[in-house]
Amino acid sequence: MAFELKEGYISIFKNEMTKENQPLYTGEGLLKGETVKIALWVKEGKKGKFFSGKIEVKEQKPPNNDAEKESEDVPF
The closest alpha carbon to 6, from 22, 26, 30, belongs to 30
- The range of the structural domain enclosing residue 33 comes to 10-73
Residue 34: count other Cβ atoms within 10 Å of its Cβ.
10
How many domains are contained in the chain?
1
Q: For residue 50, what are the CA distances in angstroms to 43, 44, 53?
A: 5, 6, 10
Within a domain: 56:
yes
Within a domain: 3:
no
The closest alpha carbon to 36, from 16, 17, 61, 10, belongs to 10
Within a domain: 36:
yes
pLDDT tens, residue order, the chain (76 aa): 677 889 999 999 999 877 888 999 999 999 999 999 999 999 999 999 999 999 999 887 777 766 555 556 666 5
The closest alpha carbon to 35, from 3, 6, 58, belongs to 58
